[in-house]
Chains A and B, each alone.
Chain A
Amino acid sequence: MLSRISSRCALVGPSFRRGLATEAATVSSELPSSSQIAPERAKKSSRPCIKTAIILNRAPVLTRTPTPFEKAYYSYQARLRRALHNPFPYDFYFKQGTLLETRFNIEERKRERLAFGPGFLEKEDISEEKRQANIAAVEQLAQQEGEGEELMPRVNQADVNLDEKSLDRSGQCNMYLIVKVTEDGKDIWRFPQGNVEKGQLLHQAAQKNLLAECGDKMDTWIVGRVPVGVYKPEPLLGSPETVIFFHKAHIMAGQVTVDGKNIKDFCWMSKYEVRNKVPRPYWESVKDILSEF
């Protein structure tokens, strides 16, 4: 009998299922106990104030520099592969005696020499004049094809000047946007955030708040519809609890514009630079969302 009552009670009480945007701990603390068949309702606290914050990410634009170990490993594997590869079908790819074949031969000899040392290759059985003529012809071809176009350097002006507002700085890292605002008379750094209006979905509110704080001069995309993290600051006396949901977003183009009204300043920071800027409890709640590199 008792068991039947308690099972009915469990059905009537708050459901075990919870949506994505609710907190687990409060639900489990409110579980009904079998002793209270008709529990007195706790005095209804005021509704929490829900906000959304956007972790706006600039994905890496450069490949990571390999570590010394990786460099040695890749170099060894490349040599191994070169030593073991199948014979190259020259006659399938090049017509006999063409300039392209000559160029390929010269380049290939250079690569072999780099991989296995100068003593590895046998001497070409062509005369010295012929060899020089080949090299000159290949150089001429390279000039015609406009080779020698220089690659962009991996370190650019923003890296040198430590320009924290630039999206070009630290191309190998994930960079995150943080903004400076005045809250309670203090200047603090945080991710862009805003309130959720009634009837608004979280991800829609996130997009709207981002545009409101950082201007519409950029092209962004909010990843998914569910928040990726939550932060609850210590509630002030007498004011309702605040819950901040974090959404991840990517910046595709454009830049933040400062209007001086909502935000005072902004900067793009990597994970460990963010740590030095934001308040400690805030950092604790977002640190696992940010990427190491």
Chain B
Amino acid sequence: MASQASRKVSGYSLTRFQRAPRISRALARNPKTGLPQPPAKIITREFAPCRLEDHYHATLKDDLMYMTYTHEIGERRPPRQIRLKFDPEDPYTKYRKNPPVGGSQIGKKPAPPSTPENIVRLEKIQLHAMVKEAVANKGHLLPALMQMKALSGESFQGGGHHAVEGVQIIRGKKSVGGWVRPGIPIGVKVDLKGQAMYDFLGTLTEFVLPRLRDFPGIVLPPQSSSSNTPSTAAGVVSFGLPPTAIGFFPQIEINIDAYPKLTGMHIHFVTNATGVGAQDRARALVSGFQIPFVRR
């Protein structure tokens, strides 16, 4: 009775609404699918409070700001221009290359200044699997497709979001002797954002990682490794799960017999961190969601 009262505010139910209006005119039909189309564009949004997102905003965000803050006074100096920039008017540079001096500067890009807007956050999680057997027979992609679908629950333009691409098929890009040819389907991937991303992360850390044998954590590179590589300046944390681990996801475990073969996959946590030390900041964030790391 108390819950009934709390659900109602001044006589109106918060969770039940009026009966839907009677459809008096036939709805227009989609010429492609032949399905009835509502007259307005309908988009679905969050349908429940998200525990991990709340955890990020209540605890992690503050802590990450304190841990990654770098103090700077005043404006930054503009970067030193070692070589003249390309000038289309200058007949000397017009048809010449202008490569950067001192090699690639990607790994040396300075991090953006510490501001409340720049606090590291999770942008998306990408699941990605390559199926080698699919080169010979593309039917081998089907279990991997179904597996990704069950893990993510994403579908093409699901919920009316035009940017949601669902489970995508990856095609070969170039020709590798006797193996990959351009255009043949060889893998699947899916991008998770928002609520689906946090749900997946929760499942991973609560159901899968604790049940893995011999998994102390994501292995960190040795301390002697270079800190100027492009990967350290991109805020992405990646690791892989073997096929045996996929069976621990409850979505798969419930009907594991339906999959002829499970496929291992790569998981990429993509954050908004950029510049020098971005990967470390991304690791700090991801470890806040209880993904373990170890140093060998």
Q: A17, A59, A80, A117: which contacts B44 (Cβ < 8 A)?
A: A80
Contact A248 B66, beta carbon cutoff 8 Å: yes
Contact B67 A64, beta carbon cutoff 8 Å: no
Q: Complex formed: what's the CA distance from A70 to B7 in Å?
A: 11
Q: Does A74 contact B (CB under 8 A)?
A: yes
Among the listed stretches B14-22, B175-183, B241-249, which one makes contact with chain A, having 4 or more residues with CB under 8 Å of it? B14-22
Listed residue (A60, A63, A117) with the most chain B CB atoms within 10 angstroms of its CB: A63
**A231 CB to nearest chain B CB (Å):** 17
Contact B63 A248, beta carbon cutoff 8 Å: yes
Closest Cβ neighbor of A82 among chain B residues: B47
Please encode chain A, from 12 to 42, with 1 for each CB lying within 8 Å of some chain B CB and 0 for all others.
Answer: 0000111110000000000000000000000
- Given the contacts A68-B14, A293-B58, A77 and B45 also touching, CB distance less than 8 Å: yes
Q: Does A255 contact B (CB under 8 A)?
A: no
Contact B255 A74, beta carbon cutoff 8 Å: no
Closest Cβ neighbor of B48 among chain A residues: A74
Contact A93 B255, beta carbon cutoff 8 Å: yes
Q: B14, B73, B160, B258: which contacts A75 (Cβ < 8 A)?
A: B14
Contact A63 B54, beta carbon cutoff 8 Å: yes
Contact A63 B258, beta carbon cutoff 8 Å: no
Please encode chain A, from 208 to 247, with 1 for each CB lying within 8 Å of some chain B CB and 0 for all others.
Answer: 0000000000000001101010000000000000000000
Q: Does A146 contact B (CB under 8 A)?
A: no
Q: Does A71 contact B (CB under 8 A)?
A: yes
Q: Complex formed: what's the CA distance from A83 to B71 in Å?
A: 51
Contact B17 A76, beta carbon cutoff 8 Å: yes
Q: A18, A64, A81: which contacts B47 (Cβ < 8 A)?
A: A81
Q: B48, B58, B255: which contacts A174 (Cβ < 8 A)?
A: B58
Q: Does A84 contact B (CB under 8 A)?
A: yes
**B277 CB to nearest chain A CB (Å):** 14
Contact A71 B46, beta carbon cutoff 8 Å: no
- Given the contacts A74-B46, A80-B42, A248-B62, A92 and B146 also touching, CB distance less than 8 Å: yes
Q: Does A66 contact B (CB under 8 A)?
A: yes
List CB contacts (< 8 Å) of B156-193 with chain A.
158-160
- Which residues from chain A sit less than 8 Å from chain B, CB to CB? 16-20, 59-60, 63-64, 66, 68, 70-72, 74-78, 80-81, 84, 86, 92-94, 117, 174, 223-224, 226, 228, 248, 250, 291, 293
Known: A75-B16, A248-B63; 6 extra A-B contacts, CB below 8 A, are: A18-B73, A63-B49, A72-B15, A74-B49, A84-B160, A224-B69
A-B contacts, 6 listed (Cβ < 8 Å): A68-B14, A74-B47, A75-B15, A92-B255, A223-B67, A248-B66
